[in-house]
Amino acid sequence: MYGIVAHNSQNQITALGVIYNKTTMLNAVTWARKRHLHTIVDEIYALSTHQKYGHGFESILKILNNQLGTDVHFVWSLSKDFGSGLRVGIVYSQNETFLDGLANLNIFGSVSNPIQMVVSELLTDDAFVDLYLDECRVRLLRSYHICTQKLEEMVLPYVPASAGQFVYVDFSSLLPQKTMEWEQRLSQLLIDHARLILTPGESQRERTPGMYRICYAWITPEVLEIGMERLSRVVAKIRRMDWDDLNHTTLSGVI
């Protein structure tokens, strides 16, 4: 009897932006196989690295020399790396039984012919794809630096990222008590007084209160600078004042 272990090849890159190396990936597959588990490798952010050669990122297809066997499966989509909003996903597997079952389900989520035509034109234009991805990496890195430089000014610890669209930040020093209730209160304060929406750790199954994910790629660099400045003002207020004194009057200068 086989189970499934879903494995993101970029170290939960949706939050951390840290890339698993080849050895770690091989160890993960070996661990799963010893326990008769299938491994699903999600590389949805594989092309969203800050540098052209991805700081050591290698696809599971390359790591296993395209010998996935019946228990390793690869998934990818256009919606992240190409920022297209096109919900076109790819599953690559060498398990014929799995593929036969998937073919029966595919009719409920198939990609329309017009979208298939658009995607085909896009992915066969090698010159455009190379130019686009190079430009994306430049812009990602620029926004990442805007975000992290401000975090360093605020002396807020974060996990250095080398890929993806997010940075994982530790706000726990701002909480009077290390509880999820205080994390929720901080989230609401940021929304009410700075109009900032950060992804709290609780919604990502984080066990440590005060951990947040910041998306630095959703908006333009100019807007990102405004948002980070608002965040800086809120953090300064929290550090100077008692939480009971944080209200619309004392936080009126944040925006």
Q: What is the pLDDT of residue 84?
A: 66
> Is 122 a member of any domain?
no
- Which pLDDT tens digits describe the chain residue by residue (255 residues)? 334 444 444 334 446 888 888 999 999 999 999 999 999 999 988 888 888 765 678 899 999 999 999 999 999 998 888 876 788 889 999 999 999 998 888 777 788 888 899 999 999 999 999 999 999 999 999 999 999 999 999 999 999 998 888 999 999 999 999 999 999 999 999 999 999 999 999 998 899 999 999 999 989 999 999 999 999 999 999 999 999 988 889 988 888
Residues 164 and 233 in one domain: yes
> Is 80 a member of any domain?
yes
Q: Which two structure tokens, joined as six digits, stand for 26?
A: 């091989």
Report d(CA 138, CA 179) in Å as an integer.
Answer: 38
For 71-88, b/e burial (b = at least 16 CB within 10 A) is bbbbebbbebbbeeeeeb
Residues 99 and 36 in one domain: yes
Q: What is the pTM of this model?
A: 0.84
Q: What is the pLDDT of residue 211?
A: 95
> Is 250 a member of any domain?
no
Confirm if 62 and 92 have CB atoms less than 8 A apart: no
Residues 83 and 36 in one domain: yes
Sheet holding 211-215, edge to edge: 158-159, 166-170, 211-215, 199-200
Q: Which two structure tokens, joined as six digits, stand for 124?
A: 């066969």
Residues 101 and 197 in one domain: no
> Is 43 a member of any domain?
yes
> Is 253 a member of any domain?
no
Residues 18 and 108 in one domain: yes
Residues 103 and 160 in one domain: no
> Any idea which residue has 């996990």 for tokens?
159
Q: What is the pLDDT of residue 53?
A: 64
CATH number at residue 57: 3.40.640.10
- For the chain, the residue count is 255
Range of the domain at 171: 129-245
* Final residue belonging to a domain, choices 87, 112, 137: 112
> Is 17 a member of any domain?
yes
Residues 230 and 152 in one domain: yes
CA proximity to 72, closest of 26, 107, 111: 26
Report d(CA 187, CA 231) in Å as an integer.
Answer: 12
Q: What is the pLDDT of residue 4?
A: 41
Q: How many domains would you assign to the chain?
A: 2
